[in-house]
């Protein structure tokens, strides 16, 4: 991946591999070297035996790939406008960005499907919801610019599996369950083109959380209420578009 191609991880002479990789990932995040951060976290995931990531490690993995992919998605959207459609030179440049995007998405999906989802299957909990949601996210990103490979359906499948577990294991106010509902509803609206289902899913998640708001613990209050606001904003936008 860009930024890390010639980087030699063995040069670090890691003593406590897992602990040292977390330290390096944190440092890379501080330095905004997200490509490097991805490679530190990839090495950590590949070093796992049968154990799962800690909450901090899980979040570092998510932050690393989200920043790398997010920058390239933004670049792709900038080039994917009508004024550039017939420009062959810009078309070549856009294709390069698409290749980087696809390679990075496939890299993180490999970590999820080969290591993290299987490791979390033994104890079905928020970890598995997190990983299945993450897989849904990266298939959704692929579906934005790759047609004919079924990425849209794979996104829906992973979100659906995550939702079934979340509804059984996590409270309606849990930030992971709310974040899943938010992203799944966006997938319905933007990728699967089912506006009705998107609105139903977002509304149910919002209403269920509101009904249990008194059970919201202080630690997750900020995250949960922020996602609830995003759900409501999307509902407002989508329903107004339908009316128009």
Given a contact cutoff of 8 angstroms between Cβ atoms, the answer to whether 171 and 209 are in contact is no
CB under 8 Å to 207, separation ≥6 — which residues? Answer: none
Half-sphere exposure of 129 (CA within 13 A, CB side): 23
Q: What is the pLDDT of residue 109?
A: 98
Closest CA to 120 of 205, 177, 48, 188: 48
- Among residues of the chain, what percentage have pLDDT more than 70? 93
Q: Please state, in angstroms and rounded to a whole number, the distance separating the CA atoms of residues 60 and 83.
A: 38
51: DSSP letter: P
Q: Out of 37-41, 67-71, 125-129, 202-206, which region has the weakest mean confidence (pLDDT)?
A: 125-129
Work out the pLDDT band at 2, boundaries 50, 70, 90: very low
DSSP alpha helices (H): ranges in the chain?
A: 17-30, 34-47, 55-79, 88-111, 117-120, 126-143, 151-169, 175-186, 195-211, 221-243
**In Å, how far are 80, 98, 102, 145, 160 from 77, measured between CA atoms?**
5, 11, 15, 10, 27
- pLDDT digit string (tens) for 200-220? 999 999 999 999 888 787 878
CB under 8 Å to 165, separation ≥6 — which residues? Answer: 124, 128, 129, 132
Q: What is the pLDDT of residue 68?
A: 97
- pLDDT digit string (tens) for 144-171? 999 999 999 999 999 999 999 999 999 9
- How large is the angle between the packed helices 17-30 and 55-79, nearest 10 degrees? 40
Q: Please state, in angstroms and rounded to a whole number, the distance separating the CA atoms of residues 137 and 127.
A: 15
């Amino acid at each position: 991946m860009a930024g890390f191609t010639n980087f030699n991880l063995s040069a670090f002479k890691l003593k406590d591999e897992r602990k040292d990789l977390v330290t390096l990932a944190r440092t890379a995040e501080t330095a905004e070297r997200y490509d490097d951060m991805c490679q530190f976290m990839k090495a950590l995931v590949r070093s796992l035996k049968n154990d799962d990531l800690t909450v901090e490690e899980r979040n570092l993995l998510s932050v690393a790939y989200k920043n790398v992919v997010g920058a390239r998605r933004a670049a792709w959207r900038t080039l994917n406008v009508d004024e550039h459609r017939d420009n062959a030179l810009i078309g070549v440049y856009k294709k390069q960005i698409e290749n980087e995007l696809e390679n990075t998405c496939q890299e993180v999906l490999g970590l999820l499907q080969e290591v993290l989802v299987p490791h979390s299957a033994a104890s079905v909990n928020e970890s598995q919801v997190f990983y299945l949601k993450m897989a849904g996210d990266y298939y959704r990103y692929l579906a934005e610019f790759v047609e004919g490979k079924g990425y849209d359906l794979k996104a829906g499948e992973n979100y659906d599996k995550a939702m079934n577990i979340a509804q059984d294991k996590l409270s309606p106010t849990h930030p992971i369950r709310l974040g899943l509902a938010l992203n799944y509803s966006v997938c319905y609206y933007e990728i699967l083109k089912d506006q009705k289902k998107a609105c139903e899913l977002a509304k149910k998640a919002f209403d269920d959380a509101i009904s249990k708001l008194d059970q919201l613990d202080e630690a997750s209050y900020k995250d949960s209420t922020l996602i609830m606001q995003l759900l409501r904003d999307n509902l407002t936008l989508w329903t107004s578009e339908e009316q128009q």
